[in-house]
Structures are given as C-alpha cells and as structure tokens.
Amino acid sequence: MNIVVCVKQVPDTEIRIPVQNGRIVEEEIKQYVVNPYDEFAIEEALRIKERFGEGKVTLITVGPERAREALLTGLAMGADEAIHINDPALEGSDAFATARVLAAAIKKMPYDLILCGKQAVDQDNAQIGIALAELLDLPHVSVVTKLEIAEDKKSAKAEREVEGGKEVIETTLPAVITAQKGLNEPRYPSFKGIRMARQKPYTVWTLADLGLKPEEVAPQTEVVVINPPPERKAGRIIQGDPETAVKELVRLLREEAKVI
Amino acid sequence: MAKHFLVVAEQSEGVLRKVSFEMLGEARRLAGSEGKVEAALLGSGVEPLAEQLAWHGADKVYVADDAALQLYSAEAYTTVLADLVKKIQPDVVFIGATTNGKDLAPRLATRLGVGLASDCTGFSVDGDGKLLITRPIYAGRAIETIKLKSTPQMATLRPNVFPPLEPDTSRKAEVEKIAVNVGPIRAKVVGFLKKEGEEIELTEADIIVSGGRGLGGPEGFEVLRELAKVLKAAVGASRAAVDAGWIDHSHQVGQTGKTVNPKLYIACGISGAAQHLAGMRTSKVIVAINKDPEAPIFKVADYGIVGDLYKIVPLLTKELQEVLRG
Ligand SMILES: Cc1cc2nc3c(=O)[nH]c(=O)nc-3n(C[C@H](O)[C@H](O)[C@H](O)COP(=O)(O)OP(=O)(O)OC[C@H]3O[C@@H](n4cnc5c(N)ncnc54)[C@H](O)[C@@H]3O)c2cc1C
Ligand SMILES: Nc1ncnc2c1ncn2[C@@H]1O[C@H](COP(=O)(O)O)[C@@H](O)[C@H]1O
C-alpha cells in the first residue's frame, strides 16, 4: 500500500506568538515542531504498513528550508521517504494555494491512501486535507478517531467525532483521511531511527518541477492586519469563608454579570 | 460586494442548529436593508423548518428535500450546493463552523474554485464593498483580519459568537424547492454511536462547567454534573482530565479540543495553561475555583474563589438550587 502523509512544520504550541506592527515577526520564532495532528497521521500510516507487512509511507510538505526538520522527524519515526516542495514563490501561501501544490505533487506519485492532520495549528484552517480530496476527485473522511483498512485494501471504515456522538463512515479507497486526536499515540523516534533518517530518500521539488506557474497557485486570501488577542483583565478573588464566598459569587453572577 | 448572502442552514434530526440563526443574524446585519439574505436547507423532510429561517431573517429559502440527503454527506451536499451557488451567484456564502460545516466548506469552496476563511469571529464591510474578516489564528494567540479575493466570499462562522435576530413570526420567506441529483457517494455514513446522556453540545452551550486534574478522579465529574444540571450547563474538561481517562475526549476544551464561547465558563481545578485558555478565553464571564491562589487561571477569571472545589462546588450547587428556584 502506498500511503502519502501531508506534514506541516508549525511554531511550537507553547510559545508566545510575536505580533508587532500588524504582522507576525517570523524571525523571532525559534522553535518549530511537527504539527501535532500530523503526528497522528504519520503514526497511523506506520501502523497500517506494519499491519500489512508491506507498503511505503511517503511524507510530503510544502514549506521553506527549515521544514526539513519536520520531515526528518517523520523519517526518524519510520517513514520511508520524503518530498519537500520548496519555492520562494510560495511564501505567503494560503490553504487554497497549498492544497493545489500538494495535489499537483501527489498526482505524480502512486497512492492508495492520503493522510493529513485535521488542522495545522498555526493558521487553524482545517481545510487542506478536504480540499485535496476534492482536487484529486477522492472521497474524504475528516476528524477521524479510528481507522480500519479492509483486508483487500479497497475500502476503509472510519469513526469520526461529531456533535452528540461518533459517526461510522465507510469509504472506498483511495481516500483522504484527516486525523483527530484519539486516533493513536504517536511513537517517539528511536535512536536508530534518528540515525537512519538522513539516509532515506529525500526529494526537493520547485513549482517548475510540478509544472505549476506561480499565478496558478496564487493565494485567494489577503492578510490586512494581525493583532495580538484582546487582553483579559484579571477579575476579583471573592474573599471570605466558603459559604459567604459562594453566596457572593451567585449574587455577582446574577446582578453584576447578569449571566444566570 | 457583500449584498447577496447565502446562508447554509444546518439541521440535525429535523432540528435547526443555533448557528443557522446566528449566521442569518450576521448576514442580515451586513447586508443592510436593501441587501438580500437567502438560506439553503438540505435534508429529508426538512421543508417545514423553512419558516423558522424566515423568522430569523431569511428572505428566501432554497430547500433540497430528498431521501439522499437524510444523513450528511460531504459529497452529496457539495454537489447540491455547488449547483445552487452557480445558479444564484451570491456575493457571500456562510457555513457554520460545526463538525459537518467544517467538513463541507473546504470541499464546496474547492469545487467552486474559491478561497475560504475558516472559523471566523467577526465581519465588517470594507470601503470597496468586500468583507473584512476577523479570525483567531495560532489557537487564539493572534487575531488576523483578512479579505478574500475570489467570489463568492466563503466563510465558516464559529458557533455561539454572532447574535441571532429576535425571531419575528410574522416574517415570511419565499420557498423554492431545488432539484437533487447527487450521483454515487463513495464515503457513506453506516452507523452512529450516540453518546449517552449528553443533552447539551459544548460548542453551543450558554454555560459550561469544566473540570481539570484538580478533580483528582472520575468521581469529580459527578460533582460537576450536579452543578451543571442546576445551571442547564454542558460539562467540559482539561486535557489532563481527559488524558487521565476520567472523561471522554469529546469534552476537552482547548487547543487540541473544542473552542467554546459560552456566556459563563466555570473552571474547577484547572490551572489555566495556555493550551486550555486557547479554547475558552473568549467566554463572556469566567469563574475559577482553584485551591492555589497563584494559579494562572485567576489572571483571566472575572471572579475567583480560592479553595477546595469539593467544598465550593457542592455549596454553589445548593445555593443556585435555592436562588434559581425562588
Ligand atoms: C500540543 C499541546 C496541546 C494541548 N492541548 C490542550 C487542550 O486542548 N486542552 C487542555 O486543557 N490542555 C491542553 N494541553 C495541556 C496543557 O498544557 C496543560 O497540561 C493542561 O491544560 C493542564 O490541565 P489541568 O489544568 O487540569 O491540570 P494542572 O495544570 O495539573 O492543574 C490542576 C489544578 O487543580 C488545582 N487543584 C488541585 N486540587 C484541587 C482541589 N481539590 N480544589 C481546587 N483546585 C484544585 C491545582 O491548584 C491546579 O491549579 C496541551 C498541551 C500541549 C503540549
Ligand atoms: N504546507 C503544508 N505542507 C504539507 N501539508 C500541509 C501543509 N499545510 C497543511 N498541510 C496538511 O493539511 C492539514 C490541514 O491543514 P490546514 O488546512 O492548513 O489547517 C495539516 O494537518 C497537514 O496534514
């Protein structure tokens, strides 16, 4: 089975996002990680390969030079090869653009299953996996917490978390699956894995290699301004013994905040 | 331009989701008096719901009522809506940022060849007539304002953010049935595992009572559920409580859980880590109950009580029982 996993490198989820003069000061972001949902996607791909005892897991990213680290992490986890689409024309890409670049690249390779994260935790778009499915004319199942590939590898059964419960979906393959937390527990790269990662096939493509012109993948969103989130002022600690404090809290919620 | 809006209403088992009314309210506000607000309603046996969309601001409702649309399917819904959008050519398409709305919108936008703004929390109309769209990025650690170059301008709207209009039952809307021809569907719903006793959806709740590691065990959620019952609230949780296995992940609030926006969020035994705040910091009023006076949650809480939640929460439940009954 040929499994393609889309991976994005994102700023560490712990850091403060440096916002200044209406934009993000990228140079101040020092720590990057593999998008957490993409780790679930990589892990799932590895487990499917292990279960069937055959197959190939190919990682693909669209990103600048630094994104190599994210691919190396995925290779160290056990993926077989990596494709890195790096082109200065892609700076400032949005979901619209990135989905089209990924689709053009994936069309060049064999695939039975495409795994994405449900969302990249930088732009929080939650679009690309689904857009990719449409561009490649494939079915998709999003926010998947359980995935079972049929013995004949021609279909899959997936569970997805929806309001009020879990939906069970059956899809033909190839398909795009977007991974939600709960799908699995991603493994840590082993020492051996880390050592081997740099020896695995690593291909770099530009837009020209994909036969794409920059205007074909021009973003459809224009960023006007970026601001820090509005400050939330600390409120007040209600003093007194528990009985008094609770009575006062209820009074405040009713009379001052008027929320109950 | 932003004069002609198409709001994709969402219903589940014959009940319209709140976000449908919220989107109509926002579309109405943006369209102004001479603008046009239309709604699309998809499902099976859903035509009677059209009048509620009229009460909440729709001038016209396109109804796709067909057995093939009984259960949501991205492929079927995309086909019906893409045909409709091509026919009526709205300036703006609004979809709810619910699980299914987020599943549908990227597919529809891609079929139409346009960009999409996800999970939006604010709109205004710019000098050139285009929408200025506000949305949180980096899990709420920054807020961007963007414009969409393509038409229709498509956006998903975060639930519980936009106020709906007061329903006006004298308002009427024209109803137009639209043809449904969806072709073969490759990804099909074959089952549903309903969660027991979960009446109130977190993302739609007005009040949320949330618990963290400070509960010390699954029994803590029983104490919170008592409080939630009195307040008709949904129950949320921190990742620490979910990872400990005390409650299902569907209750998790935060960066890797749900983003919620209730009127009142009561955090019990939650320290207030950045990733938790990411999911609830836009709540109108935050109450924190924590035994550590230094807990970061107090920095964002409107009201705080320092103390043992096992003491405070039952007292709060009792007090509210008395006050709300009276
Ligand atoms: C990539 C990533 C994503 C994450 N996503 C999320 C997410 O979506 N949601 C989320 O919540 N977290 C998330 N986290 C985890 C987050 O960093 C924190 O670890 C987590 O929120 C802590 O949960 P907590 O507040 O319940 O536990 P703790 O931080 O351990 O806090 C427990 C609190 O309970 C108080 N307490 C203890 N006993 C009592 C008592 N008897 N009465 C009153 N108070 C008491 C303590 O004083 C303490 O403040 C994420 C982390 C990472 C790295
Ligand atoms: N630049 C990128 N390169 C490769 N995959 C990406 C990229 N951006 C997003 N993805 C994939 O698409 C998913 C959803 O991303 P998004 O739509 O940006 O929230 C991510 O979890 C990745 O799997």
**Are residues B99 and A160, on separate chains, in Cβ contact within 8 Å?**
yes
Which of A128, A135, A180, A181 to probe ligand 2 with, by most ligand atoms within 8 A of CB? A128
CATH of domain A2-217: 3.40.50.620
pLDDT of residue B322: 94
Residue whose token pair is 């999970």: B119
B169 and B208 share one domain: no
pLDDT of residue B1: 81
Between A37 and B200, residue with greater pLDDT: A37
pLDDT of residue A165: 87
pLDDT of residue B305: 98
**Are residues B250 and A161, on separate chains, in Cβ contact within 8 Å?**
yes
Domain boundary among B114, B142, B177: B177
Instruction: Work out the number of other CB atoms within 10 angstroms of the CB of residue B202.
Output: 26
Residue whose token pair is 């973003």: A219
Phi/psi zone of residue B30: left (φ > 0), alpha (ψ -120 to 50 degrees), beta?
alpha
Q: What are the φ/ψ torsions at residue B275 (nearest 5 degrees)?
A: -70, -25
Residue B220 lies inside a defined structural domain of this protein: yes
CA distances (Å), B132 to each of A21, A204, B121, in order?
Answer: 18, 37, 11
Handedness of CA B19, B24, B25, B30 (dihedral sign): positive
Count of domains forming chain B: 2
Name the pTM for this structure: 0.95
Specify the CATH number for the domain of residue B171: 3.40.50.620
B216 and B70 share one domain: no
Token reading at A82: 């990596």
- pLDDT over 80 (residue B16): yes
pLDDT of residue B201: 86
What are the tens digits of pLDDT across the range B145-187?
A: 999 999 999 999 999 999 999 999 999 999 999 999 998 999 9
Q: Which of B119, B146, B322 has the most A C-beta neighbours within 10 Å, making it the best mutation to test the interface with A?
A: B146
Region B9-15 average pLDDT: 94
Handedness of CA A245, A249, A251, A256 (dihedral sign): positive
pLDDT of residue A13: 86
Instruction: Report the distance separating Cα A104 and Cα A60, nearest Å.
Output: 12
* Cβ–Cβ < 8 Å for A67, A84: yes
Instruction: Report the distance separating Cα B39 and Cα B59, nearest Å.
Output: 8
Beta-carbon contacts of residue B154 (< 8 Å; ≥ 6 apart)? B92, B93, B95, B105, B108, B109, B112, B114, B115, B116, B117, B148
Chain A residues within 8 A of B135 when measuring between CB atoms:
124
Region B43-67 average pLDDT: 97
Cα B233 off chain centre by: 15
What are the tens digits of pLDDT across the range B279-320?
A: 999 999 999 999 999 999 999 999 999 999 999 999 999 999
A–B interface: beta-carbon pairs under 8 A:
250
Region B199-221 average pLDDT: 94
Q: What are the φ/ψ torsions at residue B314 (nearest 5 degrees)?
A: -60, -35
Composition of chain B by helix, strand, coil, percent to 5: 35, 30, 35
B132 and B228 share one domain: no
Token reading at A180: 């939600």
Handedness of CA B96, B97, B100, B105 (dihedral sign): positive
Q: Worst-scoring range by mean pLDDT, B49-53, B121-125, B140-144, B199-203?
A: B199-203
Residue B14 lies inside a defined structural domain of this protein: yes
Query: In terms of residue numbers, what domain contains B254?
Result: 202-325
Cα A93 off chain centre by: 15
Residue B197 lies inside a defined structural domain of this protein: no
Which residue in A152, A74, A126, A111 sits closest to B104, CA to CA? A126
pLDDT of residue A233: 85
Q: Which helix (H) or strand (E) holds A129?
A: helix A128-135
Q: At B259, which amino acid appears?
A: T
Q: Which helix (H) or strand (E) holds B226?
A: helix B219-231
Beta-carbon contacts of residue A52 (< 8 Å; ≥ 6 apart)? A1, A149, A153
Token reading at B35: 């603008």
B159 and B212 share one domain: no
Token reading at B70: 């009984």
Q: At B290, which amino acid appears?
A: N
pLDDT of residue B197: 66
Q: What are the φ/ψ torsions at residue A81 (nearest 5 degrees)?
A: -155, 165
**Are residues B281 and A229, on separate chains, in Cβ contact within 8 Å?**
yes
Instruction: Report the distance separating Cα B278 and Cα A114, nearest Å.
Output: 29
**Are residues B320 and A130, on separate chains, in Cβ contact within 8 Å?**
no
Cβ of B271 below 6 Å from ligand 1: yes
Instruction: Report the distance separating Cα B100 and Cα B81, nearest Å.
Output: 14
Instruction: Report the distance separating Cα A59 and Cα A4, nearest Å.
Output: 6
B146 and B213 share one domain: no
Instruction: Work out the number of other CB atoms within 10 angstroms of the CB of residue A32.
Output: 17
Chain B residues within 8 A of A96 when measuring between CB atoms:
109, 114-116, 150
- pLDDT over 90 (residue B33): no
Instruction: Report the distance separating Cα A149 and Cα A141, nearest Å.
Output: 13
pLDDT of residue A20: 95
Cβ of A98 below 6 Å from ligand 2: yes
Token reading at B43: 């499902």
* Cβ–Cβ < 8 Å for A170, B190: yes
* Cβ–Cβ < 8 Å for A94, A62: no
What are the tens digits of pLDDT across the range B236-279?
A: 999 999 999 999 988 999 998 999 999 999 999 999 999 999 99
Token reading at B137: 């990025």
Cβ of A38 below 6 Å from ligand 2: yes
Q: Which residues of chain A have pLDDT under 50?
A: none
Residue B186 lies inside a defined structural domain of this protein: no
Q: Which helix (H) or strand (E) holds B319?
A: helix B309-325
The one-character DSSP state at A107 is T
B25 and B172 share one domain: yes
Token reading at B254: 């935060």
Domain boundary among B138, B161, B177: B177
pLDDT of residue A234: 82
pLDDT of residue B198: 61
B127 and B215 share one domain: no
CA distances (Å), B242 to each of B223, B236, B320, in order?
Answer: 16, 10, 27
> For chain A, what are the domain ranges?
2-217, 230-260
* Cβ–Cβ < 8 Å for A140, A176: yes
Region B193-197 average pLDDT: 77
Total count of residues recorded for chain A: 260
Name A165's bridge partners: A162, B194
Q: What are the φ/ψ torsions at residue A205 (nearest 5 degrees)?
A: -120, 150
What are the tens digits of pLDDT across the range A52-106?
A: 999 999 999 999 999 999 999 999 999 999 999 999 999 999 999 999 999 999 9
